[in-house]
Amino acid sequence: MALAAGLMLSLNSCMDDYDEPNTDGYLITSPESIGEVNYSIAELKSDNASLFSQTNAFEQVKEDKIIEGVVAANDCGGNLYQTLLIRHIDESKPEGDTNRDQAIVLGVKHTWLTPYFQLGQRVKVNLKGLYIGCYSKLPKIGQPYYTSSGNLRLGPVLLQLCATNVELVGQPNPDCAECQPIALSPEWLRATANRNYLNYPQLVSVKGTIQEADGEAIFAPESLQDAGYGVDRTLVNSENNTKVTIRTSTQNDIAFTVMPQGEHTFTGLLSYYSNWQVQLRSVSDIQ
């Protein structure tokens, strides 16, 4: 009961970036400063271009490199498992500069991250001892693990490392700029030049009609799940027939939601593999 009460207070209180985070009873991050920010997500990607250009690769960070960003996506709807999207907007850089607005996934091994990392929560991450790289082309901070097939891949960091490598900064502010999605046009999605790691992961909104929607079908029935326990649906934009995959894991509120017919806007985490892909954070990301 005390935990629930604490969470409700945190969610409903007036939020200010300069307030101390309310961590009573549920702190899993560092209670002390992990150091001053001396690096950025943009620099991380720029300095490791060859690494982030690969499909599956990783390396360990050996130095104290401390980045800062805002939680723009989490597992609040159960669709983004062990996933936090950390986004940083550098207002000192002009609009249109690729380095102005960059994001990366921080994977954390835990069943439910939302109570600890709410949308709009600013965090600092010391990369020393952690691993950076790509999982299926997705830029990520994590730790290597062996898959069931015996392949070494970049997975989530162990939860206990949050206590030494991650610090909360201020109170969550879900109305901040980092929590506002980038509206992607069909022309942008079609352009081949945009299909690179500098443009994803990112919080975006896309508009279109779900090809498989018939008024009864749900997003992710178990009967259609693939080896990754997810279901892909095709979002088609009527302007130029641009297609985006809406990927949904099974066993969450979105999975059991009937797909809407007609044109809608969908907000979520953007990635690219063989096609543009968006993963919704929650049912409310359908407008």
pLDDT in tens, 123-169: 999 999 999 999 999 999 999 999 888 899 999 999 999 999 999 99
Regarding whether 127 and 57 lie in a shared domain, the answer is yes
Q: Is the confidence at residue 195, as pLDDT, over 90?
A: yes
Q: What is the separation of C-alpha 215 from the centre of its chain, rounded to a whole number of angstroms? A: 29
| Mean pLDDT, residues 249-271 taken together | 97
- β-sheet bridge partners, residue 248: 231
At residue 93, the pLDDT reads 95
Domain boundary among 132, 153, 176: 176
Cα angle for residues 138, 143, 147 (degrees, 5° grid): 80
What does the pLDDT read at residue 235? 97
Other CB atoms within 10 A of residue 101 CB: 23
Are 186 and 172 members of one domain?
no
* In a shared domain, residues 74 and 114: yes
Give yes or no: residues 124 and 197 share one domain: no
Local confidence band at 24 (pLDDT 50, 70, 90 cut-offs): low
- In the block, which residue shows the tokens 């099974």? 250
The model carries a pTM of: 0.89
Q: Where are the alpha helices (DSSP H) in 111-198?
A: 162-165, 186-190
Domain shared by 240 and 106, yes or no: no
Query: 44: Cβ–Cβ under 8 A, 6 or more apart, which residues?
Result: 65, 67, 104, 127, 132
Tell how far CA 74 is from the center of its chain: 6
Task: Specify the number of domains making up the chain.
Answer: 2
Q: Which of residues 240 and 212 earns the better pLDDT score? A: 212
Q: What pLDDT, in 10s, does the model give residues 48-80? A: 999 999 999 999 999 999 999 999 999 999 999
Domain range spanning residue 216?
182-285
pLDDT at 249 over 80: yes
Same-domain status, 197 and 219: yes
Residue that terminates a domain, selected from 176, 209, 236: 176
Task: Kindly give, in sequence order, each residue whose CB lies less than 8 Å from that of residue 170, ignoring residues fewer than 6 positions away.
Answer: 15, 16, 17, 18, 19, 20, 21, 122
- pLDDT recorded at residue 16: 43
Percent of the chain with pLDDT over 90: 86
- Work out the average pLDDT over 200-228: 96
| Closest of 21, 113, 121 to residue 71, by C-alpha | 121
